[in-house]
Chain A
Amino acid sequence: MHMKINKFLIFKKKIILILSIFFIFFYSFSSEAKDNKKREKNMVKMTKIVIKVDRIFKSGDIDFERLVKIGTQLKKLGIEFPSYSMPDSERGGSKSSMWTERELFLKMNQDFVDAVDDFIIASAEKNKDEVWTKFKVAFEECQTCHHKFARAKINLLED
C-alpha cells in the first residue's frame, strides 16, 4: 500500500515538473517578439472608441468633455500603434502590406492621429457640427487604413 502511495507521489511530482517546464517553455516562446496580440488589443480599443463616439452622436446625448477624454485616449492609442508592428512581428489579423509598404502604413497612421487631433480640438470648442465633421474625417482614415492593412476575423483567404 505504502509502495503504491510513494509511486503515486513520485509520479505526481514528475507530472508537475513536466508541466512546469512545458509552461515555462511556451510562455517564454510566446512572449518573445510576438507583439501581434498587443497590436490587436490596441486596435480593439481604438475600434471601440470609434463605435463609442458614433453611438454618442446617435443617442443625441452629447457630452463634449467625454468626447475630449475618449478622443485623447484614441490619439494615444494611434501614436502607439506602429510600435506594435516591428519587423519580427507575427502577422495575426494584419495583411503583409503592413510591413511591405511600411512608409505608406506610417503615413496613413499619422494622418489618422492628425484627424483625431482635429476632432479633440473641435470637441473642446463644443461645436457639435464641427465635431461630427472631424469625426467623419478620422473615421474615413480608419476605414482606408483597415481596407489596406487589416484582415477580417474569419476571412482566412485574405492576404
Chain B
Amino acid sequence: MTFKYKGSSNTWGLVAIILHWVLAILLFFQFASGIRLSTLNFSSAKLELIDLHQSFGSIIMILVFVRIIWRLNNKKPSNILLPKYHLILSQITHMIVYFLLFTIPLLGFLYNWLSDLDIILFGYFTLPNIIMIENDDIADVLIEFHFYLAIIFMLIIFVHISAAIYHLVSLKDKYKIFYRMNFVSAKDKK
C-alpha cells in the first residue's frame, strides 16, 4: 500500500494528516495537564507534571514549525465548492489556531527563561536559555497570558471540532472536509 505524502486537491497528504492528529493528541494532553496543574496543590507530582507539560509543549512548538513550513510548501485541498462564509470562518479559525499554537508555548518558554528556570525535556535534555535576562515580574505577567490564552484556545478548538462534526454529521461531508484529513484520503489509489 502506498500513500500520498504531499497534499493534493482532495487530501492534505499523509505528512500533514499525521502532524494534525499528533498535534491533536498532544494538545489534548496539554489541556488536561494544564487544567490539572491549576487545581493541583504544591507537590512532587505537580513538579513532575510541570516538567511533562513543558516537554510536550516544546514538542508542539517544533511540530507547529514543521507544519507551517510544510503547509507553505505544499498544495492545499480545493475549497471551490465550499460556501464563502464557511471558507471565511474556517480561515479566521485556522489563523487564530496557528497564532495560539505558536504563542502559547512561546510564552511558556519566555516565562521559564525570564524566571531563570531550566527547561529540561523529558528529564534528559536541557534547552539553552537564549534570553539570559532575569525578570520575575514580566515572567509572572507572561504566564498569566499563557493561562488565559490557553482557555481561549480550548474554546477555539471546541469550535473547530464542532465545525468538523457539523460537516460530518449534518452535511454528510459533502464538501469532503472530514475526508481530506482522514488517513484513507492519503492512500494512493493507483
Listed in ascending order, the chain A residues whose CB lies under 8 Å from chain B are 41, 44-45, 47-48, 51-52, 54-56, 58-59, 61, 139, 142-143, 146-147, 150, 152-155
B30 CB contacts on chain A under 8 angstroms: none
B140 CB contacts on chain A under 8 angstroms: 41, 44
- Asked if B89 is an interface residue, CB under 8 A from chain A, the answer is no
Q: Is the interface of A mostly helix, strand, loop or mixed?
A: helix
* Given contact pairs A48-B136, A61-B126, A152-B38, A143 touches B43 in the complex (Cβ within 8 A): yes
Q: For the complex, give the distance between the alpha carbons of A54 and B51 in Å.
A: 11
Are B117 and A152 neighbours in the complex by a CB distance under 8 Å?
no
For chains A and B in complex, what number of residue pairs have CB atoms within 8 angstroms?
51
6 contacts between A and B (CB under 8 A): A41-B140, A55-B120, A146-B41, A147-B41, A152-B40, A152-B41
- Asked if B116 is an interface residue, CB under 8 A from chain A, the answer is yes
**Nearest chain A CB to B131's CB is how many angstroms away?**
15
Are A48 and B117 neighbours in the complex by a CB distance under 8 Å?
yes
Listed in ascending order, the chain B residues whose CB lies under 8 Å from chain A are 35, 38-44, 47, 50-51, 115-118, 120, 123, 126, 136, 140
* Given contact pairs A51-B47, A51-B117, A59-B126, A153 touches B39 in the complex (Cβ within 8 A): yes
* Given contact pairs A59-B120, A153-B38, A48 touches B43 in the complex (Cβ within 8 A): no
B136 CB contacts on chain A under 8 angstroms: 44-45, 48
Are B116 and A52 neighbours in the complex by a CB distance under 8 Å?
yes
A139 CB contacts on chain B under 8 angstroms: 44
Q: For the complex, give the distance between the alpha carbons of A15 and B64 in Å.
A: 47
